[in-house]
Amino acid sequence: MRAAGCAGVATRTLIDMSQFALNQFLYDTGAEATLAEYRRSPAAVLDRYDLTLEERQAVEQLDIARLYAAGVNPYRLRYFCLSMGITTDRFLAAFQTQPAER
């Protein structure tokens, strides 16, 4: 639905609450302490987020194409991957075998 006077404004630029949890996980692990905790005990950190089973599995498997398709912010996806040691080549290769729809 479009607000009057805002012709041309897209209505789908915001994400839903499930994607919020996934994005918030990626944001929080941008901080050194949370990243270190995630490296020590990933399940304990993931338990704090209201993720769907699919989202949680995508994180646990570091399934880049699925995370991208799930609607995470691309910067946070890239930086989470960098913090996990994923190079640019490996990042891009992840899209070779799976569709990149989102």
Partner 1 sequence: MAQIVAAIAASHAPTPFMDPRAGEQGGGREIKAQYLAMGRHLVEARPQTVVIVTNEHLHAFSLANMPAVCIGVAEQYRTPYETWITVERQTLQGDPDLGAYLVECAYAEGFDPSYSQQLPLDHGVYMPFYFGEVPVSSFRIVPLIVNGVQPPMPTLRRCQQWGQFLRRALADYAGLDRVAILATGGLSHDIGTPNMGMINQDFDRQFLHLLEHGSADDVVRFCEQDLASAGNGAQEIRNWILLKSAMDDRPVQVKLYAPEPSWLTGMSLAIWDTAPVPTA
Binding site for partner 1 (CB under 8 A): 10, 13-15, 20, 23-24, 27, 30-32, 35, 68, 73-79, 82-83, 88, 91-92, 95, 100
- Report the residue number, 47 or 90, with the smaller CB distance to partner 1: 90
Smallest separation (angstroms) from partner 1 to the CB of 101: 10
| C-alpha gyration radius of the chain | 15
Q: Cβ(68)–Cβ(102) under 8 Å?
A: yes
H or E element at residue 24: helix 17-28
Cβ contact 62:29 at 8 Å:
no
* Minimum CB distance to partner 1, residue 59 (Å): 15
> What tokens does 73 get?
């912010």
Between 13 and 53, CB nearer to partner 1: 13
